[in-house]
Structure 1
Amino acid sequence: MQVRNTTMIATLTLLLMVVGIPYAFGADAPKIGTVNFQKIFENSAGGIAVKDQVNAEGQRMEQDLQRRADEIKAMEERLSKDTGVMSKEARDEQRWEMERKADELNTLKRNYERRIQDLQMRLVNEVRQAVLNVVQAHARKENFTLIVEDIGVVYAAPHLDITDTILNQYNESYAKQGSGSQGPGR
């Protein structure tokens, strides 16, 4: 019985040593970081360029819609002003033309809304991909085990947040690229 207990203790000790020694001497603690993509998008050169480009395109579209709406309004005013001197056929023709333009305006408005959404999604995805490339390069360089987007994190110690570092690196990369593919229209 004594030999059996001694053998079992020796086996357990050996097992613990084999399993425990690598952790005691060589294994680094995992290096973890969090990134706030929303903050990067709102404060980065690429994110600001996306907002500016989408806003400019949206304003151009809005001006076009307003011009067309003004044309329809002018047609309405002409129709109501000239009702007494127009024949029924001419009134009906103008009313039909006005309704056709109003339908075109509504169709164009929906088309513009869809185009703006597509443009915004495409440009935001370009910036996001460029930021992800920066995050991955930073993770490899600094030996991170894991970097997660903070949107799904309930709590993380503030020292884990590497957003400002990534933001600075992305802005540097964006500025260096000039005509590369680091964001909107680049």
Structure 2
Amino acid sequence: MKRILFVTIISLLAISFVPMAFCADAVKIGVIDFEKIMKESSAGKMNQKVLNAKGTEFKNKLEKEKQSLDAIGQSFEKEALVLSDEKKRERERDFRNQIEDFKIMQQNYTNELKNLEIKMINDMQKAVFDIANELGKQEKYTLIIEKKNAGVIYAPDQIDITDRVITKYNAVTAQGN
């Protein structure tokens, strides 16, 4: 009987003191969906408009150049019958050079558009991560992770702070910072 009483008292003491040892601050985790921020934030939408406008501009320039090349090709076909062999080879060489220049222009536009997109994403990511860092300090988060790149398989909606980050990011970009 004494043994049972002793074990019970020790158990009660252990139960009452052990939780106090682990009562440090609660772990607070936040998740950010950067992809959602890119789609829904005002800066993300503006970046998409800029990229679309630049893409359309490049497409129009390429289309104009292609029409010019098509006209030159048709003209060459008509004149090929009456040109001397030397003039024909010279025109063919010039036409091939123009086609190569067109391909180079096309590649340059593609690269320029990709570089612009990468720069915009990097600038946006820096700003968003700065905001998340500030939010984490203010609201005492233990950890804030990016949903896709961090390899998160599951995260409950309660810990997703993406909408709050979008709100702050929109406020920052509206001020012109």
The size of the alignment, in residue pairs, is 165
Q: What RMSD over aligned residues (CA atoms) do the two structures have, in Å?
A: 2.2
For 1:154, the equivalent position in structure 2 comes to 153
Q: CA deviation at 1:128?
A: 0.9
Q: 1: CA distance between counterparts of 2:97 and 2:153?
A: 54
Q: 2: CA distance between counterparts of 1:133 and 1:60?
A: 33
1:73 aligns with 2:70: yes
Alignment of 1:3-42 (within 5 A): 21-24=20-23, 27-42=24-39
Q: CA deviation at 1:20?
A: 5.4
SS of 2:105's partner is helix
Q: 1: CA distance between counterparts of 2:156 and 2:76?
A: 68
The code of the aligned residue for 2:159 comes to: L
The code of the aligned residue for 2:168 comes to: Q
1:169 aligns with 2:168: yes
The code of the aligned residue for 2:22 comes to: Y
For 1:89, the equivalent position in structure 2 comes to 86
For 1:135, the equivalent position in structure 2 comes to 132
Alignment of 1:58-69 (within 5 A): 58-69=55-66
The code of the aligned residue for 1:130 comes to: A
SS of 2:144's partner is strand
**Structure of higher RCO (CA pairs closer than 8 Å, 6+ residues apart):** 2
For 2:7, the equivalent position in structure 1 comes to none
Q: 2: CA distance between counterparts of 1:36 and 1:91?
A: 60
**Normalising to structure 1: TM-score of the pair?**
0.80
For 1:45, the equivalent position in structure 2 comes to 42
Q: 2: CA distance between counterparts of 1:72 and 1:158?
A: 55
Select 2:102's aligned residue among 80, 84, 105. 105
Q: 1: CA distance between counterparts of 2:73 and 2:165?
A: 56
Q: CA deviation at 1:52?
A: 1.3
1:123 aligns with 2:134: no
Of residues 107-116 and 97-106 in structure 1, the stretch that sits farther from structure 2 once superposed is 107-116
Q: Give unpaired runs (5+ residues) of structure 1.
A: 1-9, 181-186
**Normalising to structure 2: TM-score of the pair?**
0.84
The code of the aligned residue for 1:61 comes to: F
Question: Percent identity over the alignment?
Answer: 27
The code of the aligned residue for 1:34 comes to: V
Q: 2: CA distance between counterparts of 1:135 and 1:95?
A: 59
Q: 1: CA distance between counterparts of 2:130 and 2:175?
A: 15
Q: Give unpaired runs (5+ residues) of structure 2.
A: 1-9
